[in-house]
Chain A
């Protein structure tokens, strides 16, 4: 069975600074990896995904994520954080045939 770990419940960063939200995964076979964002009282919005190819994936709102197969990681990054990026971020993994499994989420707070 697949699993996702988001080791940080909370990440605080100052506006304008780079941010990283960590994610590691475990899955049989090639992984399909996703990042979603949830704003307060809102649904999950898809940010980006890794299927194959280039290890650096670019997504919505200036976010990107780096796939590292040897470290089984898929960390979310942004070069310059905005206060409006403050939200709950979920990493998720899906095997080729199977269901999407989410991590426990990381609350990102960008301080003005």
Chain B
């Protein structure tokens, strides 16, 4: 009964490669997110989608491209991977509307670029 699931959980890849992380939520939420957690455990939002429409795009390199085929899925594609992209990427979802709605996170995808 996983609410927000993302795959793969661990990914080791070489610099310059292109990789994707998939995310699905079965909570019926309208809004989905990608967050990045760096090596110091600091969490920062990357993207936010509402009903398949991009609503937040923080200062993220354009090598990162989210895609939402439907409101239950939000995938993250990364081109030309760099060493600095090594991090944990969390997918999340919430109901749309006010700021009091809880955001639920997936288990994370540990990306290591070598």
Please tell me if the beta carbons of B99 and A98 are within 8 angstroms of each other in the complex: yes
Residues of A within 8 Å of B, CB-based: how many? 25
Please tell me if the beta carbons of B105 and A43 are within 8 angstroms of each other in the complex: yes
Please tell me if the beta carbons of B43 and A102 are within 8 angstroms of each other in the complex: yes
B101 to chain A, nearest CB (A): 8
Residues of B within 8 Å of A, CB-based: how many? 22
In the bound complex, what is the Cα–Cα distance between A28 and B104 (angstroms)?
24
List the B residue with the shortest CB-CB distance to A50. Answer: B100
A44 CB-CB contact with B under 8 Å: yes
Looking at the complex, which one of A44, A96, A104 makes contact with B98 (CB distance below 8 Å)? A96
Please tell me if the beta carbons of A105 and B56 are within 8 angstroms of each other in the complex: no
- Residues of chain B having any CB pair with chain A under 8 Å: 4, 40-45, 48, 56, 90, 92, 98-100, 102-108, 110
Please give me the 5 A-B residue pairs with the lowest Cβ-Cβ distance, nearest first: A94-B99, A44-B105, A43-B107, A51-B100, A102-B43
Beyond A44-B43, A102-B42, 18 extra complex contacts between A and B, CB < 8 Å? A32-B98, A32-B99, A38-B41, A41-B108, A42-B108, A43-B4, A44-B90, A44-B92, A46-B104, A46-B105, A49-B102, A51-B100, A94-B100, A99-B48, A100-B103, A102-B43, A104-B40, A104-B41
